[in-house]
Each structure stands twice: as C-alpha cells, then as structure tokens.
Amino acid sequence: MQGTIFPAPNFNPVMDAQVLEGALQGFDCDKDLLLDILTQRSGAQRQVIAEAYQGMCGRDLLGDLKEKLSGHFKDVMVGLMYPPPSYDAHELWHAMKGAGTEENCLIDILASRTNGEIFQMREAYYMQYSSDLQEDIYSETSGHFRDTLVNLVQGTREEGYADPAVAAQDAVVLWEACQQRTGEHKTLLQVILCTKSYQQLWLVFQEFQNISGQDIVDAINECYDGYFQELLVAIVLCVRDKPAYFAYRLYSAIHDFGFHNKTVIRIIIARSEIDLMTIRKRYKERYGKSLFHDIKNFASGHYEKALLALCAGDAEDY
C-alpha cells in the first residue's frame, strides 16, 4: 500500500504560514500558492503550519480558508486541513445532518476503516460536534442497514486470527442467510461480516464458494437489495482489496454520477497518505484509463489542479 503525499523535505512551517497569509490577502486569493503548499505537505505538516499561522496572525487558518475560498476548490483546501479522524468525522456529520442522509458516504467510511481509525473517528466526532456518532447513526438510518453500521462503528473486528474449521461453519451460515433471508439470518450475516478478522473472512469467502458454487458478492446481490446490500458488498470488497474498492468507487463517482464531487474529493483526501498510489494502479488496471486522465476530463480550473496534485500524476498519465 502506498500513498501519493509524503512529508516535504526541508520543511519550514513559519515560511509556509507567511506565504499562506500573503496568498489569502485581498479580494482575490492566490490559489496557485495555496495549492502549491497545502497539496505538497503531509497532514501532520499542515497541522504545524496551522499552529504557526495562528501564532503569527492570531487567526485560524481553517477559518480563513472557509471564508476566502468557494466552490469545490474550497472543499479540497478545507478538507486537507483536517487530521484524518477529524475529516472522517466531518464527512459523516455532514452526510447525516444535511437534507436527507448520504448513505454512500456512511458506507465508504465505515466499511473500510480499521478498529483504530474508527476509535479515533468516534472521539473526533464527539469533540467536534458534542454528539455521539453511534447515536446519530441510529437516529438517521433504519433497518438492517442501521444495525450493520452500528455494528461496524463499535470498532471491535477481530484482528489477525484465522480458523479454517470456524470459517467452514460461518460459510454455511452465510449460505443459509442468502437462502432464507429472515431477520435472524440477516443479523447473523452482518455479525460475521462486521466482527470476523479480514484473514478469517478470506477463508469464509473461499468456503462459501466451495459449498455454494457462487461468489459471495453475486450471492449478496441476488438475495438482498438497497443500502443493506450495498454495505455488505462494500465490506466484502474491502476485505478482498481495499484499494480496488476505492478505485471502483471513484470510477462510479466519476462516470455513473456525472462526477460526484463530494465522493471524489473525500476518497482522494482520505486515502492520499494511505493507499492512493495503489488505488491509482488498480484504477488503470481495471478501467484502462488513468484516474489522472479522468479527473482532467471532468474537473477544471484550480479544483482540477488541486485534485491532480493530490493524485501525484506521472507523465504517462496525461
């Protein structure tokens, strides 16, 4: 797994803060300077810059970016200023508190995060919004979709343990859940997918294929529908290959939804220091065109420049 954003060498936060202050002066900001600095520093470095900016100007850099910028370029620059758990919390809050719930945002984040990331996200959510993430999910969603999200947000997935005998039993439970589809079976299905380790689930999915002659994703798609089905499939895809899942979500956001900006921005920022380089590779392998090429085709202006800088495109990607 490899990201695209790394700590800048010869880092000088005071100089960066001075340049940012100058760039944010006047009616029209110097967007090139803003993106040159903020897309070329690691998340930890951006936090140090924000401290230097506060000490120097007596103002909050995040607040100034929100006030001075607009549109999708603003969304990228502001998003970069949140530490990862705070950014996840910010995205979840807005997904639930706007007009209608953005279920796909909840799915993308909660199906893919590790126990540690979920724990930090819950803390950040409470600190930022004085609200409990689990309670908000419970009040804003419903049915087995809600039950599965609540299970995921516990952050209690087993880690690093695999038992072939138990995998065979779990595979039978999953197969029965796809056949019978009762409320009880749906609960058993989501408990297995939410609590077993990734290593264990690899074995379960192999056993499922052996006993049913069918891939688990195809079975879920046949047996269930709605956001419950989408969430279960997302969990399976993340277990198998998380960068491939995000490549699929980016492709879908760009091509199936006429460039769904929120999804593209969220994934590129959230994965930039984790596995965005690997996501780029999966995207090119799977869809023929590069992520760089598709962003260039659909976005424009400084917004396009910012996304491309975070993708860290190579010459062959043009």
Q: Which DSSP string corresponds to 21-63? A: HHHT-SSS--HHHHHHHHTTS-HHHHHHHHHHHHHHHSS-HHH
Instruction: Check: CB of residue 37 under 8 Å from CB of residue 5.
Output: no
Q: What percent of the chain has pLDDT over 70?
A: 98
What is the rounded CA–CA span in Å between residue 200 and residue 178? 19
Q: For residue 256, what is the enclosing H or E element? A: none
- What are the structure tokens assigned to 226, written together? 């709605």
The helices-and-strands tally (H runs, E runs) of the chain is: 19, 0
Residue 25 pLDDT class (50, 70, 90 cuts): confident
Q: What percent of the chain has pLDDT over 90?
A: 88
Examine the pLDDT at 300 and tell me if it is beyond 70: yes
Residue 74: half-sphere exposure toward Cβ, Cα within 13 Å = 12
pTM of the model: 0.94
Average of pLDDT values for 162-189?
Answer: 91
What is the rounded CA–CA span in Å between residue 76 and residue 9? 23
